Amino acid sequence: MLLRSLSARLLVLTVFFVMLGEVLIFVPSVARFRMTYFEDHIAAAHIATLALIASPSGSLDQPLMDELLAEVGTHSITLHRPSGTVQMFDGPAQASPDVTIRLAGGGNVGRMIERSFETLFNTGNRALLVVGMSPFEPDTVVEILLDEAPLRAEMWKFGGRIFRLSIILSLMAAVLVYLSLQWLLVRPMRRITASMALFSRDPEDASRVIVPRGGRDEIGSAEKELAAMQETVRQALGQRARLAALGTAVTKINHDLRNILATARLVTDGLTASTSAEVRRVAPRLIDAIDRAIGLCSRTLDFSRDGAPPFSPSRFALRPLLEEVAQSLPIATEKEVAVELAVPSELSVKADRDQIYRVFLNLARNALEAGARNLRITAARGDGIIEVEIGDDGPGLAPRARENLFRPFAGSGRPGGSGLGLAIARELMRLHGGDLTLVASTGAGTMFRVTIPAAAKPTIRLPAAAAEAAK
């Protein structure tokens, strides 16, 4: 269980990598220790030969010579002075050298390491003849003959000291890294994990949103992003609850509203028989408006169900539909509005006519309610689509309304608005394979662009005889 935690794994890895670094240091260190061992014995051998200079006879008796050789740790010492004089210390039993080692020039590092391992793992006791320059007299060459076994023992002792020191250093480094990671990484990550678990139990509770500590490092950035995500989720859940409540309310009033509209429909049917020419002129438009309202009531709940709302696509000309929208505006807004249509009569689309009418009527009504007096609607055919632009001379949208334009309950540009109109309009256009976008909104007016898939041009089949004649 301990190794499952991040800090414990980092502790083990730290110990491992520190030990690995010490191993890499150990190899050249042992090689250097071997060379230092030889250099120290060369210096000690030169000092031992000074006894010959101090002797009045210029020679030493054998017991004293053996004692000096034992102190130096060699079997024999030979000095070659620049003058050509050779001084020798010989033990009672002269051994022949098995390996000759020359210290001049420092030697090759790879060769030094190879010979160090050769000494460490050799089980025999070879006689080594070491030749080097005296540290006291640079021109004097010193030769010593010594055993390899004491050197091997000293090298293993040195390796043991390095190993123990490596263990201590690695544990100290591991503990320091462990404590640092606990403070800098593990503790903040546990705080983030705990916040996520707490938030998941009740995402709608604002008090469960993590409060960033304000750091500028990666952990601080993660906390800020988590706080933003939790707040977004909380608001989305709140919006969903509001939509659910709205759906429940609409379900309750839908039946009564349809009955009221049905009664209004019966009354308007009688207006067609009126003797007043003005009443007979207005009655068809009023009947169409009531029929659309009844149809809208029937389809209101489609937006609260899973999947796309049903629609009945048909091929129809775009200009007559926009003319109907323009004619409905004075009645809807109780004021005269100048509507300019720059829409070619040959443009046709394939879509649900009632839903497309609803989209354009919503855009036009929004413009008039915002204070616009003039509307200009233009349309042109693109690559398989028809682009319709609706511009007005209103005061433009507020910055907050532009940021949340197509979000329900957040994108309304007027007091008391729900912001549902544009959200539903964009959804309807995207279900048709088109889109609704904001082109511009300034103090001089606002412009929206609606893209609708263009209807394919009908193929006219000529009779065989007519086809031959056309050739």
Q: State how many domains the chain has.
A: 3
Of 281, 307, 333, the position where a domain reaches its end is: 307
Please indicate, yes or no, if residue 69 is contained in any of the structural domains. Answer: yes
On whether residue 236 sits in a domain, the answer given is yes
CB atoms within 10 A of CB 127: 15
The answer on 363 and 240 residing in a single domain is: no
Q: Are both 378 and 321 inside the same structural domain?
A: yes
- Both 317 and 284 in one domain: the answer is no
Instruction: Tell me the three state secondary structure of residue 430.
Output: helix
| 374-381 and 385-392 strand pairing | antiparallel
Q: What is the pLDDT of residues 235-264, one digit of tens each?
A: 888 877 777 777 677 666 765 676 677 677
Give me the phi and psi of 327, to 5 degrees please: -70, -25
Nearest to 34 by CA among 109, 105, 89, 90: 109
For residue 426, the domain's CATH number is 3.30.565.10
State the Cα–Cα distance between residues 381 and 344, nearest whole angstrom. Answer: 9
**What's the token pair of residue 102?**
């020359």
Query: How many residues appear in the chain?
Result: 471
pTM: 0.44
Q: Which residues of the chain have pLDDT under 70?
A: 1-7, 57-58, 92-95, 104-107, 247, 250-252, 254-256, 258-259, 262, 265-267, 269-274, 279, 294-310, 330-336, 408-420, 456-471
Residue 163 and residue 273 in one domain: no
At 460, the amino acid letter reads I
Residue 165 falls within a domain, yes or no? yes
How far apart CA 324 and CA 311 sit, in angstroms, is 20
Domain assignment present for residue 192? The answer is: no
Distance CA 282, CA 286 (A): 6
Same domain, 236 and 341: no
User: Rounded CA gap, 1 and 7, in Å?
Assistant: 12
Q: How far apart are the first and last CA of the chain?
A: 88
460 in a structural domain: no
Q: What is the pLDDT of residue 174?
A: 76
Give me the domain span that covers residue 71: 2-174
CA dist., res. 378 & res. 390, Å (int) = 7
C-alpha dihedral sign at 68, 71, 76, 82: negative
Q: And the tokens for 399? A: 């910055």
Domain end call among 252, 278, 307: 307
Domain identity same for 11 and 138: yes
The whole-number pLDDT of residue 4 equals 63
| Whether 87 and 12 share a structural domain | yes
Looking at 157, 174, 191, the residue that finishes a domain is 174
Residues 33, 99: one domain?
Answer: yes
Q: Is 132 exposed, middle or buried (0-12, 13-18, 19+ CB in 10 A)?
A: buried
Label the pairing between strands 374-381 and 338-342: parallel
Position 392 scores a pLDDT of 92
Name the phi and psi angles at 357, rounded to 5.
-60, -40
Whether residues 218 and 150 fall in one domain = no
The answer to whether residue 301 sits within a structural domain is: yes
Q: 355 and 262: one domain?
A: no
Same domain, 96 and 144: yes
* Whether residue 375 is found in the same domain as residue 295: no
In the block, residue with structure tokens 């030889």: 38
CA distance 142 to 79: 5
The reply to whether 183 falls in a domain is no
Annotate 218-251 with DSSP letters as a single string.
Answer: HHHHHHHHHHHHHHHHHHHHHHHHHHHHHHHHHH
Q: What is the 3-state secondary structure (H, E, C) of 258-292?
A: HHHHHHHHHHHHHHCCCCCHHHHHHHHHHHHHHHH
